A = this chain, B = another copy of it.
């Protein structure tokens, strides 16, 4: 198997500027020497949301790629149409002409460099392991398990969603920009090695954080969020939560603790985009996978 057709996508969320700036840099010809004879599409996925510096215009574009929604012409919002157009361009989802997608995101959470996998196939795991070895403060976060993902990156069988943080929405920081660029470079290094049959020797296991569930903010009687992420939890993405650990401080000064027996690992702690759905963070379990 050789990777030939690649899409690098920025601005799937219009207020995550880092990927958009990187696409602009790549379009101006930077870095491309090392890409040899790969076909690389450089896509700004949601230009209208970028123009307004908002996540989306009508609906979250990165939830618009379910097969049923792509086939449903009744869904006619900006992102519903845009998803269909992007599927035509780099999909089709059920018959992909693109081998590999890297979808560039940022988060307000302290998630370092997070490689989010939608499929735990051997190529993806090897690529993630390679990146993790070369990129500081990087984590592998798996959302595999669903037959049909709503994410843009699900249009191709290989690749990942790259989440780099913490960074506010609507700004670019050189440190986060450089981490994103460096990770992309390492991914291409791996792809080039893999295409030539020269994947370097590696450790036989990797640590993967597997998505388990979401945790909501506490709410008052009117349904409004009435608590703040506890300072002990803030910025502690990928660090274990044990029974009794504080999760929230409520506006009236109470503390809400973690009450389950199972040790889990939070991610997307205090991600701005999740407030609208009252989501405070996600919980993952840490597993060790063999790669071969």
Copy total for this chain:
2
Please give, as numbers and ranges, the residues of chain B lying within 8 Å of A170 by CB-CB distance.
108, 169, 272-273, 275
Query: Which of A54, A172, A177 has the most B CB atoms < 10 Å from its CB?
Result: A172
Please give, as numbers and ranges, the residues of chain B lying within 8 Å of A95 by CB-CB distance.
none
* Binary CB contact string for chain A from 83 to 113 against chain B (1 if under 8 A, 0 otherwise): 0000000000000000000000000100000
Please give, as numbers and ranges, the residues of chain B lying within 8 Å of A177 by CB-CB distance.
228
* Binary CB contact string for chain A from 139 to 180 against chain B (1 if under 8 A, 0 otherwise): 000000000000000000000000000111111111101100
B21 touches A174 (CB 8 A): no
Count contacts on A: residues with CB < 8 A to the other chain: 38
Which residue of the partner chain B has the closest CB to A270? B171
Task: Name the contact of A171 in the complex, choosing from B28, B171, B252, B275 (C-beta under 8 A).
Answer: B275
Task: Name the contact of A168 in the complex, choosing from B17, B168, B228, B234 (C-beta under 8 A).
Answer: B168
Shortest distance between the CB of A47 and any CB in chain B (Å): 12
A108 touches B168 (CB 8 A): yes
Q: How far is the CA of A173 from the CA of B271 in the complex (A)?
A: 11
Please give, as numbers and ranges, the residues of chain B lying within 8 Å of A211 by CB-CB distance.
none
Please give, as numbers and ranges, the residues of chain B lying within 8 Å of A48 by CB-CB distance.
none
Please give, as numbers and ranges, the residues of chain B lying within 8 Å of A53 by CB-CB distance.
272, 275-276
Q: Give me the interface of A with B, judged by CB distance under 8 Å.
A: 17, 21, 24-25, 28, 30, 53-54, 108, 166-175, 177-178, 224, 226, 228-231, 234, 249, 251-253, 270-273, 275-276
